[in-house]
């Protein structure tokens, strides 16, 4: 049966022209990508700089629409994430992070990244991996019919398959590099800058204090990719003179951009979360792992059996929101308090919930502050509630208005440009124009060695807090 489905689910690859596994239609591929695009904007968030977004979109417009799949709804956007990364979704959406932009040093370098991610889509790598996942899930279902004792592990195995197959193979990454090289050359850019981007990724990996790029966890070694890029240039007899690099034009778009984590979007000191823009603080349980995203802040116990979540509570009053929460199917509970929390209007309840996986128990609170409503949710499995009860109540009761001037006035690090009036090394530059990051990291940000002499007239990045 699986063999028959595999034969029936084949399609022609638009890059190679060969038949390959494809259980997902192009319309479904596009729909998945568009839904994912909305999820990215909601959970990660886009950089709020229309000029920068338009600039990156204009570069992408030279690549996707002239690729092997010109009719896809291509889009190229910058996500507000400090990590050095880029990713593509099925059917057209491509994203680069703010962190990657801050480390790239030319327009051609950025185009090489956009081309690489475009290559994943044109080569239908996501479609291939999702098709494999569907086929494997079907095989798992057949196995559970044959061996009913496997039923209990169905959800776990399906989740593991998702993680396994969403990672691209080294071959697929190389294919995306090949296409990125092809696309940037077609758009008139110097392909040697692709090698420079790979060198920067390698420097980030080695530099003390720098954030290791997510690319390095699944992509081929950057050093090998430098060599392969050089081989592509030699093998294609590419005359690189006169091709675009656009270093200065690119750097001008970075001037003033936030570098690293943006504390104005909320930040942690240990497990205390501060949000200077929304003017509140919240204490998560001590020792728990934490994560801040665009739509919620989450903490998980070290045993991974309890969770506290801070998120928006909607547009109603605290009491109305609590009533709606308790009215959901599968949730039982009743309001236990309408007393304020640290002087803020609030509504609190203890609840139980039944899910397919386990019976849960916990506390929920809705708190009003400056016209906004926040939901504070802490829960665990019912059999662990006695162990976590006091901890969850203490955490939910900590929400309060932020009044500490130092916390309210915290400022992000930013990229600033200085045009050199005379030639100097980066070490000398850093002495004349100090940065708040180590010299080794500053060298990576500028793509140079600290002792290399930089020519007069060149724009150099520095990282400052203003």
Instruction: Return the HEC string of 367-432.
Output: EEECCEEEEEEEEEEHHHHHHHHHHHHHHHCCCEECCCHHHHCCCCEEEEEEECCCCEEHHHHHHH
- In which element (H, E) is residue 354 found? strand 346-354
Dihedral sign computed on CA atoms, order 233, 234, 237, 242: positive
What are the residues facing 459 on neighbouring strands? 419
For 98-145, the pLDDT digits (tens) are 999 999 999 999 999 999 999 999 998 887 777 665 544 443 333 333
Q: How far apart are the first and last CA of the chain?
A: 64
For 152-178, the pLDDT digits (tens) are 323 333 332 232 334 677 888 889 999
pLDDT band for position 52 (cuts 50, 70, 90): very high
Instruction: Report residue 307 as tokens.
Output: 């969770």
Predicted local distance difference test score (pLDDT) of residue 448: 94
DSSP category for residue 341: B
Mean pLDDT, residues 38-59: 94
Based on its alpha-carbon atoms, the radius of gyration of the chain, rounded to whole angstroms, reads: 26
Flag the least confident range among 3-12, 80-89, 219-228, 406-415.
Answer: 3-12
Predicted local distance difference test score (pLDDT) of residue 101: 98
- Give the pairing of strands 75-79 and 86-88: unpaired
**Does 59 have pLDDT greater than 90?**
yes
Q: How far apart are CA 117 and CA 47, in angstroms?
A: 19
Predicted local distance difference test score (pLDDT) of residue 219: 55
For 393-420, the pLDDT digits (tens) are 999 999 999 999 999 999 999 999 999 9
pLDDT band for position 8 (cuts 50, 70, 90): very low
Q: How far apart are CA 137 and CA 150, in angstroms?
A: 13
Residue 130: phi and psi, rounded to 5, are -65, -35
Give the number of residues written for the chain: 466
Predicted local distance difference test score (pLDDT) of residue 164: 30
pLDDT band for position 346 (cuts 50, 70, 90): very high
Assess contact for 86 and 97: CB atoms under 8 A: yes
Predicted local distance difference test score (pLDDT) of residue 463: 98
Predicted local distance difference test score (pLDDT) of residue 131: 65
Flag the least confident range among 80-84, 186-190, 217-221, 260-264.
Answer: 217-221
Instruction: Report residue 200 as tokens.
Output: 């920067």
Can you point out the beta strands (E) in 73-179?
75-79, 86-88, 93-97
- Give the pairing of strands 86-88 and 19-21: unpaired
- Give the pairing of strands 267-269 and 272-275: antiparallel
Give how far the C-alpha of residue 238 lies from the chain's centroid of Cα atoms, to the nearest Å. 35
- Give the pairing of strands 19-21 and 10-12: antiparallel
Average pLDDT, the chain: 86
pLDDT band for position 28 (cuts 50, 70, 90): confident
Give how far the C-alpha of residue 102 lies from the chain's centroid of Cα atoms, to the nearest Å. 15
**Does 22 have pLDDT greater than 90?**
no
Flag the least confident range among 138-142, 238-242, 310-314.
Answer: 138-142
For 178-226, the pLDDT digits (tens) are 999 999 999 999 999 999 999 998 888 776 444 444 444 445 565 688 8
Assess contact for 348 and 365: CB atoms under 8 A: yes
**Does 450 have pLDDT greater than 70?**
yes
Contacts by 425-430 with C-beta closer than 8 Å and gap 24+?
425/450, 425/451, 425/452, 425/453, 425/454, 426/450, 426/451, 426/452, 426/454, 426/460, 427/451, 429/454, 429/460, 429/462, 430/462
Instruction: Report residue 159 as tokens.
Output: 């989740």
Mean pLDDT, residues 304-332: 95
Flag the least confident range among 64-73, 325-334, 430-439.
Answer: 325-334
For the whole prediction, is pTM greater than 0.75? Answer: yes
Q: How far apart are CA 111 and CA 435, in angstroms?
A: 28
Assess contact for 31 and 91: CB atoms under 8 A: yes
- Give the pairing of strands 93-97 and 75-79: parallel
Candidates 205, 197, 386; CA nearest to 306 is 386
Mean pLDDT, residues 344-356: 93
pLDDT, greater one: 36 or 157: 36
Cβ atoms within 10 A of the Cβ of 38, count? 10
Flag the least confident range among 206-220, 257-271, 285-299.
Answer: 206-220
pLDDT, greater one: 237 or 297: 297
Mean pLDDT, residues 371-381: 96
């Amino acid at each position: 049966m699986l063999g028959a489905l595999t034969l029936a689910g084949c399609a022609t690859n638009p890059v190679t022209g060969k038949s390959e596994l494809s259980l997902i239609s192009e319309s479904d591929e596009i729909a998945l990508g568009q839904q994912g695009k909305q999820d990215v904007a909601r959970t990660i968030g886009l950089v709020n700089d229309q000029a920068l977004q338009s600039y990156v979109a204009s570069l992408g417009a030279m690549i996707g629409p002239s690729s092997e799949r010109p009719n896809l709804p291509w889009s190229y956007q910058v996500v507000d994430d400090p990590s050095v990364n880029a990713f593509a979704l099925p059917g057209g959406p491509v994203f680069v992070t703010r962190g990657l932009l801050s480390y790239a040093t030319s327009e051609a370098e950025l185009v090489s990244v956009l081309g690489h991610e475009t290559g994943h889509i044109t080569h239908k790598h996501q479609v291939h991996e999702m098709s494999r996942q569907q086929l494997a899930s079907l095989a798992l279902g057949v196995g559970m019919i044959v061996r009913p004792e496997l039923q209990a592990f169905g959800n776990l195995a399906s989740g593991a398959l998702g993680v396994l197959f969403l990672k691209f193979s080294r071959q697929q990454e190389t294919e995306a590099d090949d296409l990125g090289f092809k696309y940037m050359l077609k758009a008139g850019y110097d392909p040697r800058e692709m090698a420079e981007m790979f060198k920067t990724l390698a420097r980030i990996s080695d530099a003390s204090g720098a954030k290791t790029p997510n690319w390095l966890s699944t992509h081929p070694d950057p050093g090998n990719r430098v060599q392969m890029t050089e081989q592509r240039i030699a093998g294609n007899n590419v005359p690189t003179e006169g091709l675009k690099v656009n270093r200065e034009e690119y750097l001008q778009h970075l001037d003033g951009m936030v570098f690293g984590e943006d504390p104005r979007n909320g930040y942690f000191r240990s497990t205390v979360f501060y949000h200077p823009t929304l003017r509140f603080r919240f204490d998560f349980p001590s020792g728990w792992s934490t994560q801040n995203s665009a739509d919620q802040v989450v903490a998980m116990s070290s045993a991974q059996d309890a969770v506290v979540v801070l998120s928006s509570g909607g547009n109603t009053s605290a009491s109305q929101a609590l009533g709606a929460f308790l009215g959901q199917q599968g949730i039982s509970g009743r309001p236990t308090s309408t007393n304020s929390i640290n002087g803020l209007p609030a509504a609190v309840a203890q609840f139980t919930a039944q899910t397919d996986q386990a019976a849960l128990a916990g506390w929920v609170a809705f708190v009003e502050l400056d016209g906004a409503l926040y939901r504070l949710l802490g829960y665990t499995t019912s059999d662990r509630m006695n162990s976590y009860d006091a901890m969850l109540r203490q955490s939910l009761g900590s929400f309060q208005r932020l009044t500490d001037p130092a916390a309210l006035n915290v400022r992000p690090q930013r990229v600033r440009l200085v045009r050199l009036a005379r030639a100097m090394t980066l070490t000398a530059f850093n002495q004349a124009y100090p940065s708040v990051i180590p010299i080794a990291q500053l060298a990576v940000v500028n793509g140079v060695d600290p002792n290399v002499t930089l020519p007069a007239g060149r724009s150099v990045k520095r990282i400052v807090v203003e």
